[in-house]
A and B are shown apart, each in its own frame.
Chain A
Amino acid sequence: MTRILFSVDGDAPLDAQLSRLAGLAPLPPFSAQARAFVADFARRVFALPVLREHPELATLAHWFRPAAQEHLSRRLQAPANEHLLARGLVFHLAPANVDVLFAYAWLMSVLAGNRNVARLSQKPSAQREALVSILHAMQAEGLHGEVLQRSVLLTYPHDDAVTTLLSRHCHARIIWGGDATVAKIRSLPLAPLALELAFPDRFGVAAIDAAAVAAAEDVELQQLAHRFINDVLWFGQQACSSPRTLYWVGTADTVQAARARFWPAVRAQSGQVADEPAALMARVTDAHLMAALAPGVHANGALGSYPLTLDADRADGRLRELQSGHGLVVDVRLDSLAELAPQLDDRDQTLVQHGFSREALVALLDRLGNRALDRIVPFGRALDFHPVWDGTDLLDVLTRKITLPGN
C-alpha cells in the first residue's frame, strides 16, 4: 500500500502525482527559490525538538547552511562552452536504517533544480517524521511553493510494480541500501535515458601512526579518542563508513605503547555514546563467530568491554563482513602504511586516518590496484557527507551538461 508522506496534492494517486510532476519544468540549478527552501529547511531542522537525541540532524542542517550552499554551487561552474540544467525527475530510494543520509542527496537534488520522488523506509523514525513535518509546515505557511510542488515523499512495502512505475518516469535513480536491495532494484527496468547511482554495503577502516599516538600530549590523546568514538559508535557502527578495523602502523614496541594509551582513553569516554544490552549481545556473538571462522583473531581484554576489541594478524573484507557493528573493533599492526593495501578490497570505502602525510596516503592509493577506498578523512570525520560519494560527484548525476557551439 503506497502512502504519500508529502505532496502538495497528497490525496492524488501515484499516477496522477507523476503526471503532475511531468508537467512542471525543472528549476535552474541553484535557483533563488531552491536556495531559499534549503536554507529555510536547514533552519527548521536546527529548531527541531528531536535535535538533542539526533545530532546527525544538526550535522545535516549545518551542511546546508547558506555559506555551505554557496561553496557547493561553486562546484558547478560550467566552462564557457557548456551550459548546466537540472537532470529532470530524480527517484531516490532511501536506506532502511539511516534516513538522514538520503536527505543529503535529496536536498542536493533540490538545489540542482530537479523534481524529486523519494521512497522512504517503511519503519517510522523520529528523523523521518521530523523531516516530513517540516515540509507540511512550510506548505501550511504557504512558503516555497515552487519547490514543494516538485517534491513527493512516499513509502510503500517492497513492491516491484511501484518501483518499476517510478523507474519508468525518472531521469536518475539513486539507491541507498544493502547489496540485496541494490541487486533487487537493479533488476527492475529503468527508463532508457535514465542514469543510476547505487550506494551498496561498504566498510570503513581506520589507520593510525603509532608513534604519533605514543608522543601525543594528554589533551591531544583525549581529543583523538573522542573523535574515534564518534567515528565508530554512532549509528551503532552500521554506517558504511563506520570503521570496523583499526590498523596501527609502527614497530611492535611503539604500537604496544600506543595501544596502551589509546584504548583506555577511548573506553574512558565511550559511555558518551549510549550502549544497549542488545548491542552487547550482538558484538559478543560476532566475536565468537569471528573466532570460530577466522584463524588468528584473539581477545585482548574482557568481552564486556565497550568498544570490544579483538587482535588479529591481518583483517580483510572477509573478516569485516562477519562484523555487524555494535561496537566491535579489530586491531591489526602493520610495519608500514603500504602494507595496508593487500588487506583492502572493493568493499572498503572510507579510510579514517591520523598521522600520515599526503604523500604516504597517495602512495597507498597507488598501490591498491583494485576498487578500494573512495575517501580518506581525519579521525572524527568518518560519518561526514561529501558531494563526492563512492567516487562519483552527485552533482554530475543531478545535473546534465549541454555543450554549446564552440569557437
Chain B
Amino acid sequence: MAPTAPQASAALDVDVFGLDRQAKREWLLHGLQSLTRHHHAHCAPYAAMLDALWQGGAADSLEALPWLPVRLFKQLDLKSVPDDQVLRTLVSSGTTGAAVSRIFLDAETARAQTRALTRIFSHFAGNRRMRMLVVDDDSFLRDRSRFNARAAGILGFSNFGRDHLYLLDEQLQPDWDALAQWLSRAPEEPVLLFGFTFIVWQSFVQAARRDGVELRFPAGSMLVHGGGWKKMDEQKVDNAAYKAALSAAFGIERVHNYYGMVEQVGSIFFECEHGHLHAPAYADVIIRDLQDLAPVENGTIGAIQVLSLLPGSYPGHSLLTEDLGVIHGEDDCPCGRPGKHFGVLGRIRNVEVRGCSDTRTVPTA
C-alpha cells in the first residue's frame, strides 16, 4: 500500500521558533522521512534516483537523509501529484537563455508555503500590517507571463503590508516624488520595505546618492531583503556596509536579510538582530564538505543543504544547494531563538549564476 500523503499543513503544528535541538531533530526527521516515502511512491524519477543512489532513501538521521542537487529541477520535471492537481508552476528567475527551475505546487503545498512564510515573518515583524514600500516595479502584476520567482517573492511578501507603493518603474528607476507624497500621508507610521538585495542597493541606496535625495523614514521602519549577494560581493559590499548605508541614507535601522529559494518557497531563513540567519522549526540547514560532501563541524564553511517540511507536491524537501555557508551554532544565538543559526557566504565559484536580485540590472544608457 502506498503511504498516505503527509499533510503539508501538519508541518506548521509547532511554534516557528519553539523547538530545541532534540525536539526539533525528532520532529524534522519524522516528517522528512515520511516525505521521502511519499515522494518515492508518487514521483517515479525520484524513486529511480533513490533506488539507484540512496539505497531506497531510508535514513536514521537528518544527515543521512537523501538530498537532490538543486540544479536537477532545471533538468527534470519532478512532481508527486497528478497534472490536474498542479495549481501553480514556479520558475526561477534565471538569466535570459539559461535553463530555469520548474517547481510544481498543488493547493496544499501552496497554502502551507503561505502560512509558513506568514509565521516566520510575523515572528520578526509582528502581526500588524504596516504600510508597505516595494522597492521594485509592479509590471508583473499586469503581465502574468512574467510570473517568476521574483514576482512570487514580491507577491508573497506583499500580503504582510497594506497601502502598497511600488517605487520603481520598468527601467528600475525610483519615483522620488511619489515616495515623498506617499510618506507624507502618514509621516509617523513605520513602513515595511521589501526588495531584492541588489535592486535595493542599486535602485534605492545608490540612486538616492546619485539624485541627491535625502529622505528619512519613520522610526521603526523595517527593510526585508533577499535574493543573493553575488552582485554585492562584486561591489565589495558586505552585510554590515549594506546596513550602514541604509541607516545613513534613509534612517532605516531595522534591516533583515533572508535566505530562500524558489525550490523551497515559504521556509525561509530570516536574519535576526545579531545578523544570523535562523532555521524555523519546519526547516533546517546542514553544511557539507566541499570535497567529500560529509557534514562538517559548526564553524566550517561548506555547501548548504536545506531541509523543509513544506514540499508535498514535489520532491524538494532535502536539497543540496550550490551556496556556501557556515553554521555559527545551535540553540545559542544571542538573540535567544533556538535552532541552528548560520551565515551565507556566496555561491560556489564557476557554477551558473542564479537568484532573484542578480538577474536584472538597471539598463545603462
Contacts and interface: CB of A to CB of B under 8 A. Distances in A.
A292 B303 contact: no
B48 interface: yes
Contacts of B45: 292-293
A318 to B, nearest CB: 15
B292 interface: yes
Contacts of A133: none
B289 interface: yes
A122 B349 CA distance: 20
B48 A281 contact: no
A289 B348 contact: no
Identify the interface centre among A276, A291, A292, A299: most chain B CB within 10 Å of its CB. Answer: A292
A284 B289 CA distance: 14
A360 to B, nearest CB: 32
A284 B322 CA distance: 12
B291 A278 contact: no
A288 interface: yes
A276 B72 CA distance: 19
B80 to A, nearest CB: 14
Contact of B53 (A282, A298, A306): A298
The size class of the interface chain A forms with chain B is 20 to 34
Given A284-B69, A288-B69, A304 B293 contact: yes
A306 B291 contact: yes
A285 B72 contact: yes
Interface in B24-64: 45-46, 48-49, 51-54
B23 interface: no
A287 B53 contact: yes
B182 to A, nearest CB: 44
B65 to A, nearest CB: 13
A35 B348 CA distance: 46
Given A288-B53, A291-B53, A281 B71 contact: yes
B109 to A, nearest CB: 21
Contacts of B351: 278, 281-282
Given A278-B348, A297-B52, A289 B72 contact: yes
B349 A278 contact: yes
Nearest to A297: B52
Contact of B52 (A281, A282, A285, A299): A299
B292 A277 contact: no
A298 to B, nearest CB: 4
Contacts of B48: 291-292, 295
Identify the interface centre among A277, A291, A295, A297: most chain B CB within 10 Å of its CB. Answer: A277
A297 B350 CA distance: 28
A280 interface: yes
A180 interface: no
A285 B69 contact: yes
Interface string A265-297: 000000000011110111011011101110101
Contacts of A285: 69, 71-72, 75
Contacts of B1: none
Contacts of B71: 281, 285
Contact of B49 (A276, A277, A291, A304): A291
Contacts of A161: none
Given A287-B53, A292-B48, A277 B69 contact: no
B68 interface: yes
A365 interface: no
B281 interface: no
Contact of A277 (B52, B75, B348): B348
Contacts of A295: 48
A302 interface: yes
A284 B72 CA distance: 10
Nearest to B324: A277
B149 interface: no
B347 to A, nearest CB: 9
A305 interface: yes
B26 to A, nearest CB: 26
Nearest to A284: B69
B355 to A, nearest CB: 15
Contact of A298 (B52, B75, B289): B52
A288 B291 contact: no
B205 interface: no
B76 interface: yes
Contacts of B303: 277, 281
A228 B52 CA distance: 25
A1 to B, nearest CB: 18
Contacts of B350: 276, 278
Contact of A302 (B46, B52, B292): B292
Interface string B291-335: 111100000000100000000000000001010000000000000
A291 B293 contact: no
B180 interface: no
Nearest to B348: A277
B349 A288 contact: no
B290 interface: yes
A58 interface: no
Nearest to A285: B69
Nearest to A279: B350
11 contacts: A276-B349, A276-B350, A277-B348, A281-B71, A281-B348, A284-B320, A288-B53, A288-B68, A289-B72, A291-B53, A302-B292
List the 9 closest pairs (A to B, CB-CB), nearest first.
A304-B292, A291-B52, A304-B293, A292-B45, A285-B69, A278-B350, A277-B290, A298-B52, A291-B49
